[in-house]
Amino acid sequence: MVEINKVKKIVLITGLLLVVVVVANILWDGKISKEPPNSPDNISDKAATPPKNETSSVETQGEADFFAEYRLQRDQNRSRELQLLRELTGSEDQSKTTRDTASMKIIHIMEDIDKEMKAENLVKSQGVEECVVISEAGMSTVVIKGSKSVINEDEIKDLVCPVLKLNKNEICMVFRNKEQ
């Protein structure tokens, strides 16, 4: 019983860290400064940077970075989690229940990876340039590069609902480009 609780805690902490990273990237536009916010270099850079608009190449690069960075972080987190779970399943020191629970979690993660990839490809098939699907128990978030006024939210939800095995009200849509 102790091993199962430890595995659950590790999985929960990993999941929470992933959610925090995603929220931080969404809130801060995927840009993380390596300098303190009030450093002289950072202030002068902000003052010298022209305002961005939807056609700005800087914003386009930032948007591409968000989607690429999120996928990289998601893959790294899942790889670490899968490695830990594989170690648990292969360890004779663990109880059969712990090994079975770890095996089921591996299967669940692989199913999530498959669902997210299929949903992302379906969204892109509708002319969306870039998107990321964040699948969680009982809810998924679809982050789309584009304007809400251009993209039909209901069509996207109709496409991804069967793949993610969720209802429309369990899917949250986030649009990365601001309407002007």
Q: Where are the beta strands (DSSP E) in 76-165?
A: 131-136, 139-144
Q: Along the chain (180 residues), what's the average pLDDT of each consecutive run of 10 residues?
A: 60 57 51 40 38 40 78 95 94 93 95 95 93 91 90 93 94 77
Which tokens hold the place of 23?
A: 């929220």
Residue 109 gets the label, from left (phi > 0), alpha (psi -120 to 50) or beta, of alpha
> pTM of the prediction?
0.62
Q: Note the pLDDT of residue 137.
A: 84
Domains recognised in the chain with CATH numbers? 2-175 (1.10.287.4300)
How many whole angstroms separate alpha carbon 123 and alpha carbon 102? Answer: 32
Q: Note the pLDDT of residue 175.
A: 92
Question: In the structure, how many helices (H) and strands (E) does the chain have?
Answer: 5, 3
| Listed residue (118, 154, 151) closest to 135, CA to CA | 118
Q: Note the pLDDT of residue 27.
A: 52
